[in-house]
Amino acid sequence: MRGKQERTQLYHGARMMASIITGTMLLLLVGCAGSDKSYREKHEVRQLTVVFLDEPSLHKELESRTGRQPVRLLHQMNDTAPSVKTLRGFYDYGSNTIYCPKWDFEVCGHELHHAVLGQFHPQH
């Protein structure tokens, strides 16, 4: 009798394991099919002007357009010394113009430079 009971338990255990494996595979397949990670967001900017300026000219431009100071002291709650926040570029909504330093890709963007200046990488 004991042999038959062990075989029955093994059979049920194997069926349960097969069910778990099948369910897991189905979840993985559904997960792969349903998780399209592609992303696309399109914006068309018409009549955009890009002005490249050095830092002092950039600061003067901001002050003349907005009256705001380009350099500010910020006080952090956990820090006793203030930090200096300096303007590095800005966008003027009224004139649809971006003001930023030339060749500063972090501020103005590498691809924006290509859009404005064209091909500037050396050809190999």
Q: Is residue 97 domain-shared with residue 55, that is, in the same domain? A: yes
* 98 has pLDDT over 60: yes
- The per-residue pLDDT for range 4-16, each reduced to its tens digit, is 665 555 555 556 5
- The per-residue pLDDT for range 21-58, each reduced to its tens digit, is 666 666 665 555 555 789 999 988 889 999 999 999 99
Distance CA 1, CA 79 (A): 77
Q: Is residue 30 domain-shared with residue 53, that is, in the same domain? A: no
- With respect to residue 68, please indicate whether it lies within any of the assigned structural domains: yes
State the residue range of the domain holding 4: 1-34
Whole-prediction pTM value?
0.59
Q: Is residue 30 domain-shared with residue 56, that is, in the same domain? A: no
- With respect to residue 18, please indicate whether it lies within any of the assigned structural domains: yes
Number of domains in the chain: 2
Q: Is residue 29 domain-shared with residue 72, that is, in the same domain? A: no
Q: Is residue 30 domain-shared with residue 57, that is, in the same domain? A: no
Q: Is residue 57 domain-shared with residue 93, that is, in the same domain? A: yes
